[in-house]
Amino acid sequence: RQVMVISTPTQEDLMETLIGPARLFGYQFEDFALLQEMTQAVKDEPAALALLQFCADKMWERRDRHRKYLTRESYEALGGVGGALANHAEEIMQSLPLIQQEQVKSIFLRLVTEDRTKQLCSRTELVEGAQNQKAAEQLIDSLIEARLLTSRSDSAVGESYYELVHEALITHWSRLNDW
């Protein structure tokens, strides 16, 4: 038996999580400042690795195959880490039936404070008032799978808590801003 404490990765560790996989395929990032900017955008975030992976996946789709670079141009075209996520959120929303879009609106509004910051909510709070709570719970699970929400469990109270994957959704996703 062994207890292992996992801490938040340092900026250097986060950079290596980007550089390593690209290097395996013979690619590199166009400039070091790009790596710094990407990792700075997610510092102190519990979902930092997931956000970076998401953005890097989108950059990989737009990579410069000739020079074998992940480029600043592709990063900026995505809107950075936050823009890539906001565009993804909009795509997810547009793929949902209208009734589920209304449920997503209700869920997301509960996860944002009046000060426009992330708010932690229990599953019970998120499905409260839903006509079909089981469908609302399934929607929450699909939002986690789509990497728009994160969850954590509190074993002391036997409840799971949810939050937006990143505050970038609040600042970059126009639909959420309109709500």
**Tens-digit pLDDT profile for residues 83-111:** 898 999 999 999 999 999 999 999 999 99
**Tens-digit pLDDT profile for residues 131-149:** 888 999 999 999 999 989 9
pLDDT at res. 31: 93
**Tens-digit pLDDT profile for residues 163-178:** 998 888 888 899 999 9
pLDDT at res. 53: 87
Instruction: Round the average pLDDT of the chain to a whole number and report it.
Output: 90
Pair 137, 127: CB distance under 8 Å: yes
pLDDT at res. 58: 92
pLDDT surpasses 90 at 4? no
Q: Which amino acid is at 129?
A: G
Residue found by looking up tokens 């505050």 in the block: 167
Specify which residues 149 forms β-bridges with: 164
pLDDT surpasses 90 at 50? no
CA angle 113, 123, 140 (to 5 degrees): 90
Mean pLDDT of 144-160: 86
- Output 19 or 53, whichever has higher pLDDT: 19
pLDDT at res. 46: 65
DSSP state of 9: P
User: Rounded distance, CA 179 to CA 175, Å?
Assistant: 6
- Output 51 or 90, whichever has higher pLDDT: 90
DSSP 63-95: -BTTTTEE-HHHHHHHTHHHHHHHHHHHHHHHH
User: Rounded distance, CA 21 to CA 63, Å?
Assistant: 14
